[in-house]
Structure 1
Amino acid sequence: MIAPKYHVFICTSGRPNGIQKGFCHSKGSVDLVGYFSEEVEDRDLSDDVMITNSGCFGICAKGPVVVVYPEGVWYGNLTEEDVPRIVEEHFEKGIPVADLMI
């Protein structure tokens, strides 16, 4: 059984019909999945952090949106440049990145 320390959900604007379109998708959220995955792998955190793409969270104006469990921390308006900070500060040090939270 997989028991990661963190489970990261990234909105990729998935729809029930399987089509990805929407605000987060148009703002590059699919690329964020790759950036998070690469950063986690590069830091050898694959056993501790699970990355999952998700459908809409319903707060599109804050997109791209990422939610981290078990704490339930919501990050918004993320860019590629924010990913290393979140991985280092939140996943490695255990301190959520306050200025990126929504």
Structure 2
Amino acid sequence: MATWNLTNMRKHVLICNGSTCMRKGGEEVTQAIRNEITERDLDAYVHTTRTRCNGRCKDGCVVVVYPEADWYFEMDEHRAKEMVAAHLENNQPIKEWIAYERSEEGMQLLNGRFKGTEKGEKK
């Protein structure tokens, strides 16, 4: 197992690899993001992690960028590459593709996305 030196890390990207997102291209999105990070020589500054379900299956494939806490929706290979260039390299999030972003009050729903079920609520 590797133990990465994260002292230079500026961004952490969580890529949903839950079953719904995988059916919606999660593997291809994961590889596109990682390849674009490498091509742009951002490996020392951006760390990626595959996750299981992030609970936003209707928004799949979901990618979350920290420290901003921007939740990207409907990611595909093309969007993934553009997101790396804009957000990870140039610190310019693509607002039109963000379902949730952090605000002073907490997370804010954007772009007319489906709010979803409250955590703890019986379905």
TM-score bin, normalised by smaller chain:
0.7 to 0.9
Deviation at 1:88, TM superposition (A): 1.1
Cα distance in 2, alignment partners of residues 81 and 89 from structure 1: 12
Matched, 1:11 2:16: yes
Q: CA RMSD in A?
A: 0.9
Which residue number corresponds to residue 94 of structure 2? 97
Contact (CA 8 Å) 2:28, 2:76: kept in 1 or not? no
Contact (CA 8 Å) 2:11, 2:65: kept in 1 or not? yes
Q: Could you say which structure has the greater relative contact order, defined with CA pairs below 8 angstroms and 6 or more residues apart?
A: 1
In the alignment, which of 36, 40, 58 is matched to residue 43 of structure 1? 40
Q: Which runs of 5+ in 1 are unaligned?
A: 14-21
Deviation at 1:95, TM superposition (A): 1.1
Largest Rg, 1 or 2: 2
User: Normalized per residue, which structure has more helix?
Assistant: 1
In the alignment, which of 52, 55, 71 is matched to residue 52 of structure 2? 55
Count of residue pairs brought into register by the alignment: 94
The letter of the residue matching 2:13 is V
The letter of the residue matching 1:94 is N
In the alignment, which of 66, 77, 81 is matched to residue 80 of structure 1? 77
The letter of the residue matching 1:2 is L
Show structure 1 runs of 4+ deviating over 6 A: none
TM-score by length of 2: 0.73
SS of the equivalent of 2:17 reads strand
TM-score by length of 1: 0.88
The letter of the residue matching 1:31 is E
Which residue number corresponds to residue 2 of structure 1? 6
